[in-house]
Amino acid sequence: MKKLSNLVQMKDEDWNDLKQNYVKALKNPSFMELVNLLELEDDVLMKYTSSLETSANEYHHCKNCPGLKSCKNEIQGYLYTPKKVGSDITFEYVACSYQQKEEERQNYQKNITLFEASTAIRNASFKDVNRDDRNRLELSRYFKEFMDQYEKKEHPKGIYLHGNFGTGKTYLIAALFNELAKKNVRSAIVYVPEFLRQLKSSFNTDYTLKYDYIKTVPLLLLDDIGAENLTSWARDEIIGTLLQYRMEENLPTFFTSNLDLKQLEEHFASTNSGVEKLKARRIIERISYMAKDFQLTSKNRRVDK
Ligand code: ADP
Ligand code: MG
């Protein structure tokens, strides 16, 4: 009632201005559409013509918008939105669907720590996992089994995924980690060749912190194992100790490699200290115990091959 009496007290010419602007704005279909959605009296609506025009404009931008980068609104990712409060209107900035997705993504991605791994894999998604060859089908079945068991607090095995360069091994495991990150499961992806190089140079500094992190993180991917320049120290003190700990603690560990387990054993057998078959054998036994062996053989997906 109070609002109505304010209107009644308005001078005729002010009133006419308001009305004129409002009627003019109604010629814009987006404005009309927005106003219809609000289901309020014209008397109320016309006091907000200019703000409603801004909103209608922003709604219009959103209609055919392909993504956040193309946002034309005043505040990227947000829509200036009218909200009905009783018989009046207030305005607020509401995140658009792209922005909401982005915020969710940033939230769950905090659960995945990358150690020298490419940030591009943060976008890996199950949606893109092609199921048309048998290997991938088996693999995605195991992904499902893994997620079910993990959720039930059982201790499913990780995966040893080997195959040619560029077949999407890293991508697939990253997609699994992303899915689990949405359920608040923490994981780490370690690009082994670079990580070992860095460890040597950061020895005694943040080495212990990083190493303890990957030792104890709930899910770990050792990415591209077998592509590193191996020393006996890296094999025994770093990889061996890490695997021993994770095996005893039942912490699922994943591996990707261009080498199958037999080739990896040969790789582990020869270091700068000569050939040590027994030590290599012990590491392979741990990996076989902790992870199911899968091969990926499809085409190279890299564009820069
Ligand atoms: P690998 O680890 O086997 O060498 P990657 O996982 O690095 O292969 O994949 C190679 C490239 O192909 C990467 O750029 C990756 O983002 C892309 N890629 C892999 N699998 C898919 C997929 N299912 N959908 C879309 N892109 C993919
Ligand atoms: Mg890879």
146 pLDDT above the threshold of 70: yes
CATH architecture of 110-295: 3-Layer(aba) Sandwich (3.40)
303 pLDDT above the threshold of 60: no
What does the pLDDT average to over 278-299? 92
The helix (run of H) or strand (run of E) holding residue 192 is helix 192-201
Res 299: pLDDT: 64
For ligand 1, the distance from its centroid to the CA atom of residue 227, given in whole angstroms, is 17
Inter-residue contact 254 to 161 (CB < 8 Å) = yes
What does the pLDDT average to over 126-138? 72
Inter-residue contact 262 to 228 (CB < 8 Å) = no
The helix (run of H) or strand (run of E) holding residue 17 is helix 12-25
Which residues share a beta bridge with 280? none
What does the pLDDT average to over 20-24? 93
Cα 219-225-228 angle, rounded to 5 deg? 135
Res 5: pLDDT: 44
Res 3: pLDDT: 46
> In 3D, which of 131, 129, 113 has the Cα closest to residue 175?
129
141-148: Cβ within 8 A, 24+ apart: 142/292, 142/294, 143/176, 143/179, 146/176, 146/252, 147/176, 147/179, 147/180
Residue where the block lists tokens 């209609």:
63
For ligand 1, the distance from its centroid to the CA atom of residue 29, given in whole angstroms, is 45
> What DSSP character marks residue 83?
E
Res 62: pLDDT: 95
Distance, in Å, from the CA atom of 134 to the CA atom of 39, rounded to the nearest integer, reads 55
Predicted confidence (pLDDT) per residue in 71-125, tens digit:
999 999 999 999 999 989 999 999 999 999 989 888 888 999 998 888 888 888 8
Predicted confidence (pLDDT) per residue in 220-251, tens digit:
999 999 999 888 889 998 999 999 999 999 99
Res 1: pLDDT: 41
Lowest-pLDDT choice from 29-38, 104-113, 199-208, 270-279: 199-208
12 pLDDT above the threshold of 80: no
8 pLDDT above the threshold of 90: no
Res 133: pLDDT: 66
Which phi and psi (to 5°) does residue 83 adopt? -130, 130
> In 3D, which of 98, 100, 62, 102 has the Cα closest to residue 79?
62
The 10 Å CB-count burial string (b at 16+, else e) for 254-276 is bbbbbbebeebbebbbebeeeeb
Nearest-atom number in ligand 1 for the CA of 256 is: 2
Average pLDDT score over the chain: 89
Predicted confidence (pLDDT) per residue in 151-192, tens digit:
999 999 999 999 999 889 999 999 999 999 999 999 999 999
Question: Which of 301, 302, 303, when mutated, tests ligand 1's pocket best, judged by the most ligand atoms within 8 Å of its CB?
Answer: 301
- The token duo for 64 is 């055919």
Which phi and psi (to 5°) does residue 92 adopt? -145, 160
Report helix angle 12-25 to 49-63, nearest 10.
10
Nearest residue CA, atom 11 of ligand 1?
302
Provide the CA 157 distance to its chain's centre, in angstroms: 23
Which phi and psi (to 5°) does residue 283 adopt? -70, -45
Which residues share a beta bridge with 188? 113, 220
The structural domains of the chain, with segments of one domain joined by +, span 20-99, 110-295
Which residues share a beta bridge with 95? 78
Nearest residue CA, atom 18 of ligand 1?
168
305 pLDDT above the threshold of 50: no
Predicted confidence (pLDDT) per residue in 182-224, tens digit:
999 999 999 999 998 888 776 666 777 888 999 999 999 999 9
The 10 Å CB-count burial string (b at 16+, else e) for 121-142 is bbebeeeebeeeeebbeebbeb
Res 17: pLDDT: 86
Q: What percent of the chain has pLDDT over 90?
A: 65
What does the pLDDT average to over 274-293? 93
For ligand 2, the distance from its centroid to the CA atom of residue 92, given in whole angstroms, is 45
Res 132: pLDDT: 60
Nearest-atom number in ligand 1 for the CA of 120 is: 16
21 pLDDT above the threshold of 90: yes
Res 130: pLDDT: 64
